[in-house]
Amino acid sequence: MKQKPITFSDTLSDFKRQTLRVMRLTLCLLLIASMHVYANGYSQKNISINVQNKSLKQVLQEIEKSSTYRFLYNQGVLKNVDKVTLQVEKVTITEALDRLFAGTDISYRELSNDLVVLNTIGSELPVDITIKGKITNPNGQPVPAASILVKGTSIGVAAEANGTYSINAPDDGILVVSAVGFATQEVSINGRATINVALAMADLSMDEVVVIGFGTQRKRDLTGSITSIKGEDLQRMPNTNPITSLQGKVAGLTVSPSGRAGSAPVVRIRGINSTNSASPVYVVDGVLHDNIEFLNPADIESIDILRDPSSIAIYGLRGANGVIAVTTKKAERGKTRINFQSTVGIQTVQDKISVVDANGFKQLYDAQLANLNAAPFDYTNYNANTNWQDLVLRNAIINTNNLSISNNTDKATTLLNIGYTYQDGVLRNDNHQRFLVRLNEEIRIHKNFKVGGEINGTFIKDNPPAVGITNALWAAPIVPVQEDATTYYSMPSFQRAQVGNPISSLNRNDRTSINEDYRLIGTLFAEWKLLNDFTLRSTIYGDFRFSNNRGYNPLPFTVINLGEGAAPTERFLDPQARTSVSQSSAESRRFQQDHTLTYNKNLGDGHNLTGLLGFTSIYGRSSSLNGSRRDTSLNIPNDPNFWYLGVANQNNPIFNGGGGSESSIVGTFGRVSYSYKGKYLVNATIRRDGSSKFAPENRYGTFGSVGLGWVASDEDFFDNIKSINFLKFRGAYGTTGNANGFSDFLWRPGLSNASSAVFGDNIYTAVQALYIPDSTLQWETVSGLDIGFDLKMLDNRLSVGATYYNRTTKGILTSVVIPNETRRFFTNLGEISNKGVEITLGWDDRIGRDFSYNVSANFSYNENQVQSIGNNLDFQILGNGGANRTITGFDIGHFFGFRQTGVYQTTAEIARNPAFSTSFPGDIAYQDFDGNGVLTQADRQYLGTPFPPYNFGVSIGMQYKNFDVNIEGQGMAGYKIYTERRTSNFATLNYESNRLNAWTTPGSTNIEPILDNTRGNNFLFSSHYLEPGDFFRIRTIQLGYSFSAEQLRAIGVKSARVFVSGQNVFTFSKVTGYSPEPQIGSILGGGADNGSYPVPSIYTFGVNLTF
Amino acid sequence: MKMNLKAKTGTKLLLPLVALGIILSMGLSSCKKLLDTNPQGAYDESTFPFPGGSGPFDEYLFGAYRDLRLFDVHVWGYLHAVSIRSDDADKGSTPADGGANSLQMDNFPVLSNNGLVNALWTGHFGLINKCNNAIFQVGNNTGIISTPEQKIGALAEARFLRGYAYFNMVRFFGNVPLFDRLFEDPAAQNNIPQSTPAELYALIESDLNFAAANLPLAWDNRFIGRVTRGAALGILAKAYLYQGKWAQAQSAASTVMNSGVYNLNTPYAQIFGESGENKSESVFEVQATASAAITTANGVQYANVQAVRGNGIWNFGWGFNTPSVLLANAYETGDPRRARTILFTSTATTPGVTINGETTPLGLPNERYNHKVHPATSFVNQYNTRGAWWMNVRILRYADVVLMYAEATNEIGGDANIGLARNAVNSVRARARGGNNAILPDITTAAQADMRNAIRQERRVELGMEHERFFDIVRWDIANDAFQIAGKPNFSQSRDKWLPIPQAQIDLTRGVLKQNPGY
């Protein structure tokens, strides 16, 4: 059968068209802006004059009288000319003057402001004039001590306290006005005697430094794609995990949060690179981590997101999915500061899943039983109407506090930070607490030698809830909750074995597991500046984790089994249930060392060179131990003080286990950054990596990158384009190795001896291969191109950036399901590409003195394609029971199934239309994709992607006097969510409201199939279970008030700000689950919503005080 | 002066060079050492301390034995395929329980996306691959010191288990790919098309014949239930029977009967449950056990998924695979096997009593349960759980061999043979009678066709709820009629004699595997 062209390509090209449209728009915007520049230079005025035999001086005065032109000349210029005659009608000044001076030795120059300078030909010396004026800031207030310099000379003055100045300068000269904190401005004199200059606030963004791995670089010198987010922008949002706050702020970054207390979001940078792990690596002040939950958001100075292979090449093998580099706060120079921040908020689930109530349930279950020809259910004793969802969810508190004290003297810098976070989950009993301390110290022993270090301590305590939300969605609403605190109703017989009473489970296991996680991260560095240009820096890091969990299995509650039919209502308290306790602990150590030698020299004549050479290694070990004991004679009390293994006598059943791991990576690297006059930029990196994950002969890989940049706005020919302040073109190409998330030692034939053979009652250890080993396992290689431009214009008010990237992963490390086989096969397989564009726009301006605002928006589009997979295996990778498919020529893990066209209404309709041999009225009708007249498995087709190709974010900030308002919105589009929670049919579960519209009789519906779970055709994976995920969410609305210095002086406070904030306040989406956030955690089987933990709305009040 | 300058330049270069040297030497020296890590707390083939013990290849064989207990081999899909599909059993549990997967197995047709079908497929191929791995180790692993006898013995066990697994597969699916060796290249394994039933039976016969020739008659007490010559011959007899190879079937069965290892001395009521395990009736049983500490890990969920689904102390299991009313009516009046096979639950008028003497509560979801898997009270108390994961699965018992002998012999025909068949059937009936001469009179017919019906009837009641019925009615070609009687008109022998090839596997192979006819 021939595969028809896929309809999704149409959709895709739609996407492309839209993308192009946006790009075109950006281009137009640029053109309009630059044309505006030229229009200013072409003002046209006509002159009419009629003079006969007048002196030249008189003629010039006539022109001055009848027009706006003014002439500037030395008397001597005119001395060689006698009387002249000039008769012109509506000509340009040029024409008039050309005629007037024809045959004389006078030349002229037209300046702006209708000023014309006359000179004797051959002696066109500029005329020195005296210029006076005032220098002000954007609010019109004087800028004292601004420096006014004649360009190209050493002539200069400083402005007075009231902002005025006076300087002698050539009439055609250029004044360079500069002041600290303001953008340097160049003004052409053009003969003017009065020049007032309003200085714009300096745009320092291009001079900001960003983290580039083992060093920093000025933003303007970058050649790759790195976005820097300031800590203060993150702290505005009361998320306990700072990464969640990055949502919508960075083009190309997809963040899918989890609403669960304290848990980390799923993060993807520029699509999915690998079938294995697509999570970026986190680098906190140089240390590589898998997460940053140990960081206090208030303690973050900035986060840099490195997205392209050239930028991440220096990080080597851990960075291939992108790098999120976090710089923590250091003490500010020369100040002692105490800062206190606190927020308190309430989290609430806004959009609950619509499930039927008791009446709806009875109606639907009756219908289902009727369709199954089964006897009706006896509801006599089931007359409750319980909303289980409401009972397990709650409004939950979130409270964050942070106190930091910093001190900075000549010799030392100290920062001490203490944080405490308390978060209840919106699911009852879910609780997360976190204590953080951080001490950062830097000692300058000598001007060329400093040492320093940091200690970061974290304590996290979790009380996970005992039930999942799905439990509450499944439980039948006809069941009452409880009789008293220890007597609960069980579910009806049709779901008794599969679904427990959610409240009973919640209450029985309330705080019966105590999870404590301790972590200590220490850093020690020494930095030696030698011979002016060299810096030698050595850093060692240690990351020590210890977790200590305890649990208790309490006695069950009394259960009431309500009578059904002949079965009477009865109470049951399981006499065989016993209490048990468990303890587990795990420890891990990770050591990292970095040694770098940096050479930084201004070679003169505009040549600037930075070279870096370094070595790094990471070594990690871990071990774990767990055990439990069940007491067969005494009941262990429900009191955490008893929950230790020793409380149960050792003759009771005992279980224990333990394990460990060891892995390491090493890398040597070098980087050269060269710039010429700050205009021509070259960055090149090479890195050789080794990983213990691979066989000794395959361990090493060499990767590298090169980036080129051109700051066009620094070229001379740009001097005339006044409205463009900065323009840089950049391009970079790089490769990097990846083995992220891939288990150790898969090249060795691993064995499991966990299982056993049994003969009689004798038990023997059995050995089984864990997987099919591939001894040739190698790095997967990510390589990519990144080109783009950065633009600032209209007095730095408008900023535009656009990037195109094309990235390919070759030899992807994949766990393959082999047909007819239970062992997995881990191998290098195939090639995946991600192409896309990222556009950012920013506008920053003020209106009047008191109102300033900024708007920024970003948009990104990513197109994922599997270029090849399994070419040597000739099969495909299926995920989530076949709902997702990964195959050459399509995007990774796309949905693959039948497309619903309707519901068969009658047997006649089935006979007329393509159908399965097993189709009945009330079944879903699917599209006959191959057009052969019957439905077969060949009619499955591409149904969309679970991964959002479109990401966009917009943020508006406003400041009026002491008030500030911040609104942020974020959205994603172009993906599907699989409502897998609706497909569970292992028992009779509560129905979602959509089933109220199930097919009953011909004509009743064309969407929802009949209530009959024998009809397997309706459970085939199809578009029926997909919904568009597109959404736009108002992530943040915040109103803040900053007290003025005068108000605070009396109470000894330097600055104070209070705010109220709402998060996830409005959502525009058609998704039926708790939240529209895409389910992107699984790569090969993504997109399934099984009642995922709701991402709540949060309303917060906060205060920020500095002493 | 010049010298001085030179010296200064030298110093100037020296420092960074020294620094560079330090960095590089640290890098190079530590690189190799740092990357030499080892798996922690885990074995691989080169580090596993294979013990001596009974046989040098036991660890690999034990891996295959372990798979016999898997949910995907002898539990969930298995019970659906061999029993719930038959006219003797219903799905059980509550009406919609088990969902489309289970309901399709009861009512037909089974769709190719049915999860039970895929689980059966992968479960059995997992077992087959482990057998092939053991065979590979025998042939290729020079690191294991062994005698030729030990090698042949290990091969015999591996080939028995492979032959048995393929016998299940050919009965489930008809056409499946044939893997007679370990594929080291997954790509090659992937692209093997299906073999025909005839080709598969050739492998099964060859495997089981090899096993029969080389397995011991019995094992010592350390290895109760390990596969034997009798097991190999018994399964072989059944494989012959399914192909209508009557003479070979008769020969294999009679070899078992003459081996002196097995007899019909165990009273029918004591064959099942815990106490009947590994008695002289037992030819091939999947071994399972438990302890108060470890209740499931060394067991099999076979009994648990069928056991009574009640509340409280009556919550023994899931209550699937319940005996049908047709099976209840199939017994002759007074046949004590009926009550041992079917647990009738209490009604308002008649109490239902278990083998342990417990009276079942009113209002259980099903009127009948499989009595053969009801756990003994003593074991429930001993292990402090009602899950019954400890109960062995009876794959082949001696009465089955005797009835196979009877069937094969009767089909060969001739008065003498029919007489031998009659004697065999009557020996089974005599045991069932339990000394009560008022019931189950001897079969007296001398007509082949009557004898055939008597044998079929005897198989049905003797082996009720024991995995035979569906395959029997299909091979006897009486399934269409049987399902008409059972009120399951969707059944069509031409399609439903085999399960569909799992769509997931067809997808994984990108169409190398072909769907069975009719699906």
Do β-strands A323-328 and A281-284 pair in parallel, antiparallel, or remain unpaired?
A: parallel
Residue B43: predicted pLDDT: 82
Lowest mean pLDDT among A196-210, A586-600, B231-245, B246-260: A196-210
Nearest CB to B100; choose among A534, A572, A985: A985
Q: How confident is the model at residue A113 (pLDDT cuts 50, 70, 90)?
A: low
CB-CB contact of A895 with A979 (8 Å): no
Chain B contact set for A534 (CB, 8 A)? 15-16, 19
* Residue in B116, B216, B104 with CA at minimum distance from that of residue B160: B216
As a whole number, mean pLDDT of residues B55-72 equals 91
- pLDDT tens-digit series, residues A642-667: 999 999 888 888 889 999 999 998 88
As a whole number, mean pLDDT of residues A92-121 equals 77
- pLDDT tens-digit series, residues A529-564: 888 888 999 999 999 999 999 999 999 999 999 998
Q: How many CA atoms lie within 13 A of A734 on its CB side?
A: 36
| 3-state SS string for A1058-1090 | EEEEEEEEEEEECCCCCCCCCCCCCCCCCCECC
What is the pLDDT of chain A when averaged over all its residues?
A: 85
CA distance B76 to A165: 93
Q: Which pairs with CB-CB distance under 8 Å and at least 24 residues apart come from A287-292?
A: A287/A521, A287/A523, A287/A541, A287/A543, A287/A592, A288/A315, A288/A318, A288/A592, A288/A618, A289/A543, A291/A264, A292/A241, A292/A242, A292/A243, A292/A324, A292/A326
End-to-end CA distance of chain A: 76
Nearest CB to A876; choose among B41, B318, B510: B510
Highest mean pLDDT among A452-466, A666-680, B224-238: B224-238
Beta bridge partners of A284: A287, A326
Residue A1090: predicted pLDDT: 87
CB-CB contact of A878 with B507 (8 Å): yes
CB-CB contact of A237 with A1063 (8 Å): yes
- pLDDT tens-digit series, residues A577-593: 889 999 999 999 999 99
Nearest Cα residue in chain B from A749: B44
Sequence letter at residue A969: G
Residue A285: predicted pLDDT: 86
Do A753 and B109 count as a contact with CB atoms less than 8 A apart? Answer: no
- pLDDT tens-digit series, residues A385-406: 999 999 999 999 999 999 999 8
Nearest Cα residue in chain B from A533: B16
Q: How confident is the model at residue A43 (pLDDT cuts 50, 70, 90)?
A: very low
Do A820 and B42 count as a contact with CB atoms less than 8 A apart? Answer: no
Q: How far is CA A241 from CA A299, A345, A401, B11, in A?
A: 12, 15, 14, 50
Residue with tokens 């699965």: B393
Do B96 and A699 count as a contact with CB atoms less than 8 A apart? Answer: no
Q: Is B46 on the interface with A (CB under 8 A)?
A: yes
Length of chain A: 1107
Which DSSP category does A538 fall into?
A: E
- pLDDT tens-digit series, residues A486-505: 999 999 988 888 899 999 99
Which DSSP category does B56 fall into?
A: T
- pLDDT tens-digit series, residues A702-752: 999 999 999 888 888 877 777 888 899 999 998 988 887 778 888 888 888
Highest mean pLDDT among A237-251, A258-272, A688-702: A688-702
Residue B441: predicted pLDDT: 95
Beta bridge partners of A675: A608, A681
Lowest mean pLDDT among A191-205, A333-347, B281-295: A191-205
Cβ burial, residue A602 (10 Å; 0-12/13-18/19+): exposed
Q: Is B95 on the interface with A (CB under 8 A)?
A: yes
Q: Does position B235 have pLDDT exceeding 90, yes or no?
A: yes
Residue A678: predicted pLDDT: 82
3-state DSSP call for residue A720? coil
Highest mean pLDDT among A30-44, A72-86, A383-397, A568-582: A383-397
As a whole number, mean pLDDT of residues A928-939 equals 90
Lowest mean pLDDT among A73-87, A196-210, A959-973: A196-210
- pLDDT tens-digit series, residues B457-516: 999 999 999 999 999 999 999 999 999 999 998 899 999 999 999 998 998 888 899 999
Q: Is B8 on the interface with A (CB under 8 A)?
A: no
Chain B contact set for A490 (CB, 8 A)? 311
Sequence letter at residue A322: G
Do B505 and A761 count as a contact with CB atoms less than 8 A apart? Answer: no
Q: Is B267 on the interface with A (CB under 8 A)?
A: no
Q: Is B90 on the interface with A (CB under 8 A)?
A: no
Do β-strands A482-484 and A700-711 pair in parallel, antiparallel, or remain unpaired?
A: unpaired
Q: Does position B25 have pLDDT exceeding 70, yes or no?
A: no
- pLDDT tens-digit series, residues B345-382: 999 899 999 999 999 998 888 999 999 999 999 999 88
Nearest Cα residue in chain A from B187: A873
Do B39 and A745 count as a contact with CB atoms less than 8 A apart? Answer: yes
CA distance A241 to A432: 12
CB-CB contact of B288 with A761 (8 Å): no
Q: What is the pTM of this model?
A: 0.81
Residue A40: predicted pLDDT: 38
Do β-strands A449-463 and A431-446 pair in parallel, antiparallel, or remain unpaired?
A: antiparallel
Q: Does position B30 have pLDDT exceeding 60, yes or no?
A: no
DSSP A888-932: TTS-TTEEEEB-EEEE--SHHHHHHS---TT--TTSEEE--TT-S
As a whole number, mean pLDDT of residues A608-633 equals 91
What is the pLDDT of chain B when averaged over all its residues?
A: 90
3-state DSSP call for residue A988? coil
As a whole number, mean pLDDT of residues B314-338 equals 95
Q: Does position A377 have pLDDT exceeding 80, yes or no?
A: yes
Q: Does position A437 have pLDDT exceeding 90, yes or no?
A: yes
Which DSSP category does A522 fall into?
A: E
Residue A472: predicted pLDDT: 92
Q: How far is CA B361 from CA A493, A1044, B484, in A?
A: 14, 79, 33
CA distance A465 to chain B (A): 25
Q: How confident is the model at residue B50 (pLDDT cuts 50, 70, 90)?
A: low
As a whole number, mean pLDDT of residues B31-56 equals 74
* Residue in A308, A310, A318 with CA at minimum distance from that of residue A287: A318
Lowest mean pLDDT among A318-332, A1042-1056, B20-34: B20-34
CB-CB contact of B112 with B503 (8 Å): yes
Residue A1: predicted pLDDT: 40
Q: How far is CA A817 from CA A768, B66, B128, in A?
A: 17, 22, 16
Q: Is A614 on the interface with B (CB under 8 A)?
A: yes
Output the furthest CA–CA distance in chain A (Å, rounded): 135
A311 CB-near residues (< 8 Å, 6+ apart): A212, A213, A222, A224, A225, A226, A323, A705, A707, A732, A734, A786
Lowest mean pLDDT among A860-864, A884-888, B20-24, B289-293: B20-24
Do B507 and A882 count as a contact with CB atoms less than 8 A apart? Answer: yes
Do A534 and B22 count as a contact with CB atoms less than 8 A apart? Answer: no
Beta bridge partners of A516: A461, A548
Beta bridge partners of A175: A150, A187
Q: Which two tokens stand for residue A408?
A: 């900075």
CA distance A255 to A237: 15
As a whole number, mean pLDDT of residues A956-968 equals 91
3-state DSSP call for residue B417? helix
Q: How confident is the model at residue A622 (pLDDT cuts 50, 70, 90)?
A: very high
Beta bridge partners of A523: A454, A541
